[in-house]
Structure formats: C-alpha cells, structure tokens
Amino acid sequence: MKADYQSYKRAASVCLLGLFLQLAMGLTLLVHSVLSHNHAGLTGALYILLGGVVWLSLAIVFDQHRRERIEALEAEAIAQQGGRALSVFGEGASDLRVAAKRLAGMHRVMLPVVSLLYAAALAGIGLWRFRSGEALIDHGSFKPFAEHGWAISIGIALAFVGFMFARYVAGMAKQPVWANLRGGAAQAVGAALVGLAIAVTRFIDYMGTDAGTRYLQAVLPALMIALSIEVMLNFLLGIYRPRRPGEVPRPAMDSRVLSFVAAPDRIAESIGGALNYQFGFDVTGSWFYQLLSRSLSALVVVGVAVLWLMTTVGVVQPNEQGVRVRLGRLASAEPLPPGPYLKLPWPLERIERFDTERVRRINVAGEAPTISGAILWTNDHKAAESFFLVQPAALERTAGVATGDYSLVAAEIPLYYRVDDVIKFHLFAAPEAREQVIRAEAQREVLRYMAAMNVDDVLGRGRSAAAAELHRRISARLAELNTGVGVLFVGIEGVHPPRETAEEYEKYVGANQEREALIDMGQREASEMLINAAGSLATARRLVALIDDAEHTTDDARRAELEAEISDLIAKAGGQAAVRLQEARAERWQRHMTARAEAEAYAGELAMYRAAPRIYAAGRYFETLRDLIKDKRVYFVRGDGVEVRVNLEDSALGGNLFEQPRQQQE
C-alpha cells in the first residue's frame, strides 16, 4: 500500500475516534461504578481511561507522519524544479526536512517516555487497587450487590463496542503503513475484556455464587500490574533490537498479548500451524476442520442456548435461604432451604438468595476516622460526620439557659443486623432500597432519642445506657415494619463536639473538672480535720449533732446531760479534741493544787507570826538579807575607816578573802 499523507491522515482520524470511544467507555463505567460502589468496576474504568493516553499518542504520531509526507512531497517538488538554485541561503535538502526530524524525535524520545509513564501509571494504580481489593475478597468485608441488570448491560455493551472496534483497527493494522494501530486495538480489546469480565462475573453472581465478583476485585489490578511489566520488558528489549533503515519502531506500550486477542485469526493460524507440525500433516485442510469452521456460528448459537437453558437451575448455598420470584412476584410462601431447584429460565423466574449467616453493618451516623495516630476532638477525622442536637449540660440549665437552646455533637453509630426472615426481608422494600430504608428508620429513632439526652450523658457515663436504649428502639421499629431483620448491636462510638468548638469545650470541661477537684480537695481536707479532731468521721458527725441539740435545747437538765455526753464522747474518741481536753483538765488540776498549796503555806506563816511576831519578823528579815547577798561579795568594816585593796583583775577568788596564807601561818 502506498504510504501517502492521506493514509496517515486516515490513521490519525481513527485514533481520534478510538480516543473518543475509549473515554466514553471509561467514563460510563466510572459513573456506574461510583454510584453502585463497585470496586472492580472502578478499577476497570481507571484502566480504560488510562488507555486514552495510547490513542492520543498514536494520533499525534500519525499526524506527524502526515506532515512528514507532505514535507517530503514539497521537498521532492522543489528538487525537481531546481530548488537549490532558487534558495537564497543555499540550504541543503536535509535542512528543509523539519517534520522528518520531529517525527524521528517522537519515535526516539516521546513514545518511549510515554510508554514508561504509562507502565508506571498501570503499576501504581494496580498496586493501589490490589491492596484495597484484596481486603474485600473475604466474605465478611465484601458487600454483595443487590442489583445486577445495569452492570451486566454495561459490561456487554463495553465488550461488544470494544471488540468490534478492536477488530476493525486490527484489520487496518495488517497494512504496514498502519502497523502501529495495533497498540490502539490492544487498548480497545482490553476495554472489551474488562466489560466482558464484569458482565460474566455479575451474571454468575446473579445465578449462584459471588466468588467471581469477589475475586475480580483483585484479579483486575493484578492484570494491570502484569501489563505494566510487559510494557517495561518491551521497552528493554526494544533498546537492543536491531533496526532496519526506514523501519517504523513499534512502541513499548503496544501490548503483544492484547494484540493477539484483538486479532484472533492470528491465534487460529498459529494454533493451526502448531497442529500441523505436531501431527505431521495438514490438519487445517481436513474435512472435519473445514466443517467445524463453517459451523462455528451454529456452535456459538447452540452454546448461548445451552447457557440460557442452564438458567433453569438455581442453587441455594448452605449458608443461604432463598425465595422464588416469578415475573416480579413472590412465588414461594416459605423460604427455600439450601439445595438445587428447577425454575423457569431467565428472565421469567429467578431465585433470590440471602446470606442469613452473614452479619451486615450499616453506619447509621458518621464513619470511622481514616487518620492514623491519636484521634482527638480537635483533629480532622478525614471522614463524613453526622451531627445531632442534644440537650445542654446540667450546669447550663441550672444557670438559666433559655428554653429551646441545644448543644451539637458528632457521633459514629454503627448498626449490625442479620436477616432472620427472608420472606419479610424480600417484601418490605426493593432490593436496592432495603438498606436505605433500614438506615432511614434507624436515623429517625436516633434523632428522636438524642434530642432528649443530656450532652454530659452522651459524652460521658450515659453512653452505654444510650446504646442499649437505641438498640431496643430500633429493634422495635424494624419489627413493627416487618423488615425480617434482627438487630444484633447498636453502638455509640467516637462522640465529640464540633471540631471548631472542641477547644472551647475542652476549656469548659477542664473548668468543670477543676471545680470538682477543688470540691474533692475541700471535702478531703474537711474529713482530715474531722478525723484529726474526733478520731473518725462517724464520731465527728455524732458530736456535731449533739452540739446542735445542746445549743437549741431550752431544758437545762437536758443541756447538762448532752454536755456530759459530749465530753465523754470526746474523751473516748482519742482525737486532737480529746488530747486538748485532757491537757486542759491536767492544767486546771495543776493550777488548783498550786493555789491550794500556796493557801496552806500562807495559813502556816500566819500562825507562826501570831505566835511570835518579833521572832517571825527577824527571821523573815534575815532570810530576805540572805537572799539579797547570795552570790555577792560582802565586806565587814569598822566605822573608823579601813582601807581595803583588791586586785580587780581577779574575777573570781577562791576561799576566804581574809584568810592568812599558809606560809605566813607557818
């Protein structure tokens, strides 16, 4: 085929059409997956949207090929007209090939860089989705889908559109000038495979087990990681692959595996060649092979018919119960126990199955925080929060807060339930609205109850009692509606005031705690004082009561009796009051005896004076004189004047001052 600029222009137009279809398929699957909370669908949508990078790169390269062909035609025309002589500056032919240089740079730099970025994006998204999808494989974490029709329809539409367009592009890629369209065909067939996988697994989930839907959440990310590895290998092998002059290199982002799927005739040729080689003769030329090839359409129709007839069998798993739904109406009065059942083919009749052993959770209010580390009132929890109006604190009500004022708190309230009666559970609401109805009824009961609660009880000691009361109310309401579910647990978790007011609320709470601490300290000091005074709190309270009775009574005899009882009780208590009382009694007795002794001594002195007044007076005089000259030096002198000389440096002289020394006496 002649490689003129019209061929490349057509290829660029096909690439733009492929980009439009790729984005349309990816966005359609993305919107449905977000609305239905489909993890596998969201992964597939990201993969399909990422394929738009390949289509855009190919469109740019093919458009540059078109420009290079136009430039080549212009250069050829100039050369035929003697363009070198007409050039003012005398440029060579190579200097005029700007588009060719730019095209070579795209194949040498742009496409390898885009391929590496594409591989990195595949690996990054694949690892991210694999980690989150792996955790949802378990039955306890996986949330079953109640609606399958839209998912199956969108999956089939993606598979049909993607595969048909991939076949069309793969047919164009057989021409050498359009060879690089194989990368776009691979992206289209990849989108088709994603849609087919979603449709098949959701159909299997509708018919029986949900294993395919659960494992697809990890399989799709794993395939993305595998494709990223293939792109990296293509890039490394392309570095060392020898190139012939004029050969257009194949981009690394062109998946060889998906290219084979996009062109199944090549696979058939490869298989036929392998069979011929193994058996040693032309198997593909035999009558049986030719008959099989001619009857392929009939075989496909028969296969589809067999699959449709297989829908006449429904299986209820051991952990499930089922109900028979015929033409949209309930056809069984009793739940179907586990086992196989015959029914009309789809869509005339189906068996709706319910896992009666699995415990389901509904977030009636709020969601668990997604931050790591300490979770404080002042932190941003990075999760949706639900706020409730509650009554103000008891201190605020006693302080005269106006009637009608409320406090605002955020709470996480999970509800765990299990399907007890599948007939009632099937009838009370549509499949896609059952959880919404249960959540709405539970929220109404929570709002009613929380509006009458005290904020102190919600944040403190009353939380357990509130959770038990909510469990009772919600259970009664759901039983009244004949929902067929049994409420297993209702909890109040993570209660806190709004983050904007948390700091002020903490100050309020801190002030209350400080007040309580001061009250406790005062009571403790009072108790210590009473214990120190009376020996025990009971004795102190008894003494206070007796003292109050003694102060208020008007009967003197009764007052005396009470005072005696008070004194006796204080003496027996053994506290500081008893010690002080005993000390007072001892001091009174000491003073009394001292005064009495002085009185008796005075009486004796008085008797002695009366018996001999002059002798008594002389005795008292000499006693007084003795007391005065005690510890003092006394000099006896005559009246005619005697001179006495002493050494004043001698501060203390022993013995008699007037005694003669021994030497003089000798």
Q: Strand pairing partners for 388?
A: 409
Those residues with Cβ within 8 angstroms of residue 369's Cβ, 6 or more apart along the chain or in another chain: 375, 379, 381, 382, 383, 494
pLDDT at 455 over 80: no
User: pLDDT over 70 for what percent of the chain?
Assistant: 79
pLDDT at 429 over 60: yes
Q: Closest by alpha carbon to 126, among 219, 33, 23, 253?
A: 219
pLDDT at 508 over 80: no
How would residue 120 be classed by pLDDT, with cut points 50, 70 and 90? very high
Average pLDDT, the chain: 78
Question: Which of the two residues, 652 and 489, has the higher pLDDT score?
Answer: 489
Residue type, 5: Y
Q: Find which of 51-60, 341-350, 633-642 is predicted with most confidence, using mean pLDDT.
A: 51-60
Q: Give the range among 10-24, 525-539, 578-592 with minimum mean pLDDT.
A: 525-539
What value does the mean pLDDT take over residues 23-37?
89
pLDDT digits (tens, 9 = 90+) for 346-377: 778 888 888 888 888 888 876 666 666 666 66
Beta carbons of 97 and 69 less than 8 angstroms apart:
no
pLDDT at 662 over 70: no
What pLDDT, on a 0 to 100 scale, did the predictor assign at position 273?
60
How would residue 205 be classed by pLDDT, with cut points 50, 70 and 90? confident
From the number of C-beta atoms within 10 Å of its C-beta (0-12, 13-18, 19+), residue 211 rates as middle
Q: Closest by alpha carbon to 220, among 115, 162, 134, 155?
A: 134
> In the chain, what are the domains?
5-84+93-262 (no CATH), 295-358 (no CATH), 361-497 (3.30.479.30)
Question: Which of the two residues, 387 and 66, has the higher pLDDT score?
Answer: 66
Q: What is the pTM of this model?
A: 0.50
Beta carbons of 441 and 364 less than 8 angstroms apart:
no
pLDDT at 457 over 60: yes
pLDDT at 149 over 50: yes
What value does the mean pLDDT take over residues 456-482?
83
What value does the mean pLDDT take over residues 392-410?
60
Beta carbons of 356 and 335 less than 8 angstroms apart:
no
What distance in Å separates the CA atoms of residue 416 and residue 130, rounded to the nearest whole number?
Answer: 27
Tell me the CB-side half-sphere exposure of residue 364, using CA atoms within 13 A: 26
pLDDT at 87 over 80: no
What distance in Å separates the CA atoms of residue 429 and residue 427, rounded to the nearest whole number?
Answer: 6
pLDDT at 315 over 60: yes
pLDDT digits (tens, 9 = 90+) for 263-302: 665 555 555 665 565 555 565 666 666 666 666 667 777 8
Question: Which of the two residues, 662 and 643, has the higher pLDDT score?
Answer: 643
